[in-house]
Amino acid sequence: MPDEMSRPLIRGRGGGGGSRHLEASVSEPGAPVIGILGTGDFSRSLARRLVASGYQVVVGSRIPKRSVALFPEEAEVTSQMEAANQADLVFVAVFPEHYSTLVELKPALAGKTLVDVSNGLQINREGPSIAEQLADLFPESFVVKGFNTISAWALQVGPRDGSRQVFLCSDSQKAKSSVMQLCHRMGFIPIDMGLLSSAVEIENLPLYLFPSWRIPVLCTLSLFIFFYLYNFLHDVLQPFVTAGKSSFYKMPIETVNVTLPSVALVMLALVYLPGLCAAFLQLWWGTKYKRFPNWLDQWLTRRKQFGLCSFLCAVLHAIYSLCLPMRKSAHYKLIDVVFKQVKDGKEVSWDDDAVWRMELYLSAGIMALGLLSLLAVTSLPSVANTINWREFSFIQSTLGYCALSMATVHTLLFGWDRAFDPARYHFYLPPTFVLVLILPLMVLLGRLALFVPCVASRLRQIRRGWEKSRHIRFILPDDDCRNGLEDVSNVVASQQIIWKLFRRI
């Protein structure tokens, strides 16, 4: 177990064990007194972090003698009323259902800053927020919502572990500034979310369960179920129905191994399809200022998740493929082939086409997996923050299309000439790879269409602000037309109009 976890949450007290006043030597001179109402795990971790940051800490408890041994000896544990009187800024670290028990502290908390660190039990979409309810209970205090996204563990070990961002909102700018200063001193990064009405959004943040992953995961599962059932029908059920041959042993490994690359390739194509749709829409509209449909917006913002799901399926496919020779059925098949050749007196023949096909097929697959690995690594925030936008765009776009191309070639080599063999069309259904190739080939052809010089030039103009509905239009600056402006016949070429257009741009 790591050293940080093996140490107790807080240091034990000295021999007295009772409530005692703060030692001036521990905290920095002039530091405000920070009060904490509540004695739970979060309160103990918060007290430890505040003491380590040089603050005077006073903890208010309903039963001080029972809680005094749980806190650092530099912190004073006393009654809630005394803590409210001593503190300049108070953290309310009790459950929202117990806020009503603090009403008697209203005179002592008047004019002071209250930091609400609580979270709800479920996502609140209508309001009011917990912080707004606290503000209604203490109208003479200044309520700040914050620290609800920071765990007790992150407070205990410090900002080097866990999230460093602390989202804050309040109707009082002065109170919010004081809490932001406290965040900086504790080593966290405060994020100003505006007025207290934003507390609903902040309180919902810890309750979301992978909101941006929901659609990509559902899409991955749906594709997996579809292709698995298709492969089962095509490769397992059809031989059993037509020839009475039992191939159900293929279901755990072979059928899954054929399904995973199908899902991976389609998901990778879905990463780049929305970008093509956006480009063609901009070409059709002749402007970049018209908003995309909501479904396309959502799709564009989830491309990273689609790509990572594709990478997961590709890695699983590689692992499954490596395990294929380990199966007992593979051993039996090999022995059966050798036995039949010996029995018939035939020598093992060298099939040049099959050898070349397998060599190229494996090489393309390895290259595709390598490029996908690079895309997955650079999508990590810690890696993406170390490269500039041009480098990131080159990896995710140029190398991404290379990965899609190599994966498509890998699938084409797998199919080889099987697409033209009528015996492969079981139940009159095409082989799986024929279905899988449709979307990737459409994406690659769409990308090639954008490489046509006239199309690429017009798209660059649009993305630099050119609009076909305007009288003066932008052209690329490498054309010699007054720094990117071209005249149209129905424009009065006055200095005033040109100046207005420059300002509009």
At 8 the pLDDT is: 43
Q: Give the span between the Cα atoms of 342 and 353, in whole angstroms.
A: 23
Complete DSSP assignment for 183-214: HHHHT-EEEE--SGGGHHHHHHGGG---GGGH
Q: Same domain for 302 and 397?
A: yes
The residue among 168, 184, 207 that closes a domain is 207
Nearest CA-CA partner of 494 in 478, 472, 465: 472
| Type of residue found at 86 | Q
Q: Give the span between the Cα atoms of 430 and 433, in whole angstroms.
A: 8
Q: Same domain for 95 and 159?
A: yes
At 83 the pLDDT is: 96
Q: Same domain for 111 and 152?
A: yes
* Cβ atoms within 10 Å, residue 25: 6
Q: Same domain for 82 and 219?
A: no
CATH number at residue 48: 3.40.50.720
Q: Which residues contact 437 (CB under 8 A, 6 or more apart)?
A: 265, 408, 411, 412, 415
Q: Same domain for 289 and 157?
A: no
Q: Which residues contact 396 (CB under 8 A, 6 or more apart)?
A: 375, 378, 379
Q: Give the span between the Cα atoms of 219 and 458, in whole angstroms.
A: 34
Indicate the DSSP class of residue 101. Answer: G
Beta strands at 165-170 and 113-116: parallel, antiparallel or unpaired: unpaired
Q: Same domain for 238 and 199?
A: no
CATH number at residue 246: 1.20.120
| 500 assigned to some structural domain | no
Q: Give the span between the Cα atoms of 302 and 286, in whole angstroms.
A: 25
| 445 assigned to some structural domain | yes
Q: Same domain for 222 and 134?
A: no
At 155 the pLDDT is: 87
pTM of the model as a whole: 0.77
Q: Which domain holds residue 380?
A: 213-340+350-468
Beta strands at 189-192 and 165-170: parallel, antiparallel or unpaired: parallel
At 156 the pLDDT is: 82
Render pLDDT for 101-142 as a digit per residue (tens, 0 to 9): 999 999 999 999 999 999 999 999 888 999 999 999 999 999
| 72 assigned to some structural domain | yes
Q: Same domain for 279 and 314?
A: yes
| 301 assigned to some structural domain | yes
The residue among 207, 236, 253 that closes a domain is 207
The residue among 147, 182, 207 that closes a domain is 207
| 217 assigned to some structural domain | yes
Q: Give the span between the Cα atoms of 470 and 498, in whole angstroms.
A: 13
Indicate the DSSP class of residue 72. Answer: -
Indicate the DSSP class of residue 348. Answer: P
| 387 assigned to some structural domain | yes
Q: Same domain for 233 and 189?
A: no
At 476 the pLDDT is: 53
Per-position pLDDT tens, the chain of length 505: 444 433 444 444 444 433 334 443 355 666 789 999 999 999 999 999 999 999 999 999 999 999 898 999 899 999 999 999 999 999 999 999 999 899 999 999 999 999 999 999 999 988 899 999 999 999 999 999 999 999 888 888 776 645 789 999 999 999 999 999 999 999 999 999 999 999 999 999 999 988 999 999 999 999 999 999 999 999 999 989 988 888 899 999 999 999 999 999 999 999 999 999 999 999 999 999 999 999 999 999 999 999 999 999 999 999 999 998 888 877 777 777 666 766 666 666 677 888 899 999 999 999 999 999 999 999 998 898 899 999 999 999 999 999 999 999 999 999 988 888 888 898 889 999 999 999 999 999 999 999 999 999 999 999 998 988 765 444 555 544 444 444 443 433 444 444 444 444 4
Q: Same domain for 252 and 142?
A: no
| 486 assigned to some structural domain | no
| 406 assigned to some structural domain | yes
Q: Give the span between the Cα atoms of 225 and 233, in whole angstroms.
A: 12
Indicate the DSSP class of residue 430. Answer: P
Q: Same domain for 269 and 287?
A: yes
Q: Same domain for 134 and 252?
A: no
At 25 the pLDDT is: 36
Domain count, the chain: 2
